[in-house]
Amino acid sequence: YFITERIIHPLKTMTSAAKSFAEGDFSSRVEVYGGDEIAELAKAFNNMAESLDRFERMRNSFLANVSHDLRTPMTTISGFIDGITSGAIPPEKHDYYLGVISNEVHRLSRLVTDLLDISRLESGDRKIKFEPFDVAEVARIVLISFEQKIEEKNLDVIFESDSDSMNVLADKDGIHQVMYNLCH
């Protein structure tokens, strides 16, 4: 009885934990006793549980980041379109703000394309897209996208740069997103 119980108990625990996993709860672990095959199975089971738990946390973090990254340009687009249609933005500035909206639409499109390429990221095929661009201009565009919020909060924002142009070789969309998040 005792030998059978010692063998069966970890298997029952693993069965119970597996049912929890099926419901999305990856917190269950199996106690490991000894160094026999059942103990090795329990260790492997616990390693699998840890991997699943880590993957679930990464997935949740990824979804939160994706939601934020997609919402960011949509908020800017929506704000400027509302400003144009409500008359808050004067007609002589429409072309300027439509250009900002166009840039945000293109950035949103690139973000969606990156999402579609997520399998490449998981397989290690996704590479950072290094391209030359003017980082000062990206900073100006980010500040312009916050213009409505800045005015609503009555903030005084001054943009200073050592030169008119600061060319860098980097991932433009990544730098844009970092600057946007910092300003936000």
Residue 57: band (very low, low, confident or very high) from pLDDT cuts 50, 70, 90: confident
Kindly report whether the global pTM for this prediction surpasses the value 0.85.
no
pLDDT in tens, 106-129: 888 878 877 776 666 666 665 778
Whether 3 has a pLDDT exceeding 80, the answer reads no
Q: What is the pLDDT of residue 168?
A: 92
Q: What is the pLDDT of residue 135?
A: 92
pLDDT in tens, 22-51: 888 888 888 877 778 878 888 888 888 888
Type of residue at 121: L
pLDDT in tens, 132-150: 999 999 999 999 888 888 8
Token pair for 117: 């390429």
Whether 67 has a pLDDT exceeding 90, the answer reads no
Residue 1: band (very low, low, confident or very high) from pLDDT cuts 50, 70, 90: confident
The answer to whether 119 and 126 are in contact (CB under 8 A) is no
Q: Is the dihedral of CA 177, 180, 182, 184 positive or negative?
A: negative
CA–CA gap between residue 175 and residue 161 (Å, rounded):
17
